Amino acid sequence: MFKDNNLKEIYEKYREGRLAHAYLIETNNTPKLINDLKELIKVINCPEEYQGSCKLCNLCNLIDKNNLPSLVTIEPDGASIKKNQIEELKINFETKPIYSKYNIYIIKNAEKLNGSSANAMLKFVEEPTEGILGFFITNNKDVIIPTIKSRCQSLVITYDSDNILDKLNITTEQFTSYKELINLYLNKIASNALINHKELILNKVSERKDIEILFKIIFEIYINYLEKNLNKSYNEEITNIYEIKEGTKEIISKLNIITKFLQDLSYNGNMELLLDKFVIEMRENHG
Ligand SMILES: [Zn+2]
């Protein structure tokens, strides 16, 4: 168990009975790390000796559904993690857990703890309470408030990137320039502004195969937001290109529109007409 996994180190400590009360983990892929953490939390807590899957206990089931009361994930509320979010956590954790051995908190974007929320958080890391386990997650340890950092066991977990460049056979330079163009284009579509969308695209990329790549990236953006909405692991590098706040249903209907566009494009449909149709359909489906 966890042989090749990045969380092996924490698992080994658990087996030796030397689990720290709080870990600070720097990672390049938060969604993947959270998924792996959930596996680790199952291993540590499952009464059925979890071995990679468990259909027997309520605990594993609740973790899968993000419904375990003793597992609390905190993420920034707006620009920062607020003091009241931490106060709530404290109240929550005054009660002993029902299903699990530990009360566990995960702080995502821990660098967003501000002065007052970090202070409130210090109680957990300063006077560790038996039965409480914490994970601070960040993309950059160097910007974590020192009082927190110094009281956590710290480790770095790096994942290989899901390589979109290999998948679409494009260069980093192409990807960078497409990212900007896609962000601009999708923003214009969402804003309903009366602009010439076709020219926006065709001035930059006119070859059919380049337009195909562009729309394949747009497809990747939507599919990754779908994964995100379904609490699956997704590629942050892709979702960072453009922010989608729509629900699962809207995202699926847009994936259909993009798929149809790519299909028509491959059948040599008239490019300008296809681009017009695309904008109209995307706007009609705006959630
Ligand atoms: Zn279980």
Q: What DSSP line would sit under 145-185, residue for residue?
A: -HHHHTTSEEEEE------HHHHHT--HHHHHHHHHHHHHH
Whole-model pTM?
A: 0.66
- Choose the weakest-confidence range: 63-67, 93-97, 158-162, 221-225: 158-162
Q: What are phi and psi of 202, to 5 degrees?
A: -70, -25
Gyration radius (Cα) of the chain, Å: 22
52 alpha carbon – ligand 1 mean position (Å): 9
Kindly give the distance from the C-alpha atom of residue 232 to the centroid of ligand 1, in angstroms, as a whole number. 19
CB 119 within 8 A of CB 87: no
| 183-202 per-position pLDDT tens digit | 999 999 998 877 677 888 88
CA 45 to centroid of ligand 1, rounded, Å: 8
Domains and CATH numbers, the chain: 8-157 (3.40.50.300), 164-284 (no CATH)
- Cα separation values, 239 from 15, 174, 217, 242, Å: 37, 17, 10, 6
Of the candidate ranges 25-29, 53-57, 132-136, the one whose mean pLDDT is the lowest: 53-57
Average pLDDT over residues 49-78: 88
Calculate how far, in angstroms, residue 42's C-alpha sits from the geometric centre of ligand 1.
6
For residues 151 and 163, the answer to whether their CB atoms sit within 8 Å is: no
